[in-house]
Amino acid sequence: MFAEQTREGDPSVAMPSQEGESTTADAPPARQGNEHGLNLAAHPRAARRVTECKAWGGLAGFFVGGYLSLSSNTLLDAAFRALLTGIVCYVAVWGAAVFIWRRLIVAELRQREHELSSERAKRSGLAAAAGENDPDAAPAAS
C-alpha cells in the first residue's frame, strides 16, 4: 500500500505508492469523548469507579447465576449458566455505570460553573461597593 519513500524533510510520513491514495496524515483526527466533549476515561474518579462497577457486577452475576443454576443436573451446565449470567451482568452494569457517571460529571460541571459565577458576582458586587465608597475615585462620566 505505501512505498518505502518518504517526503522530503519529514521522514516519518510515508508517501502513497499510487496516486489518489491518501496518507494517514490527511485523515481527520479521532474524536475524543462524545458529542458534548465529555471523556469519561479521562475523569480520574469516573474511570476507576466504572471499572470497579464492571468487576463487581460481573462477579455478582457469576455467583448469583451459579447459585441459581445449582438445581441443574450437571456441573458443566451450571458453570456455563453462571458464566453467561456474569457476562450479561458485566455488560449491563457497565452501561449503567457509564450512564450514571456521565450525569454525575455534568452535574459536577454545572455546580462548579454556578460556584464560579456566584463568586464572580460577589467580587464584582464588592468592587462596585468599594468604588462607591472611595472618595479618591474619579466621578462617573455621564
- Using 50, 70 and 90 to split pLDDT, how confident is the model at 43? confident
Q: What is the pLDDT of residue 57?
A: 96
Helix ranges (DSSP H) in 3-137: 44-68, 75-133
Residue 57, judged by CB atoms within 10 A of its CB (0-12, 13-18, 19+), counts as buried
Cell of 142: 455621564
Q: What is the pLDDT of residue 102?
A: 92
The CA distance from 100 to 97, in Å, is 5
Instruction: Give the pLDDT confidence of 47-91 residue by residue, as tens digits.
Output: 999 999 999 999 999 999 999 999 888 899 999 999 999 999 999
Q: What is the pLDDT of residue 88?
A: 97
pTM over 0.85: no
The CA distance from 112 to 36, in Å, is 17
User: Among 62, 66, 87, which Cα is nearest to 77's?
Assistant: 66
Helix (H, G, I), strand (E, B) or coil at 34: coil
The CA distance from 131 to 118, in Å, is 20
User: Among 52, 46, 61, which Cα is nearest to 92's?
Assistant: 61
Phi, psi for residue 14 in degrees, rounded to 5: -85, 145
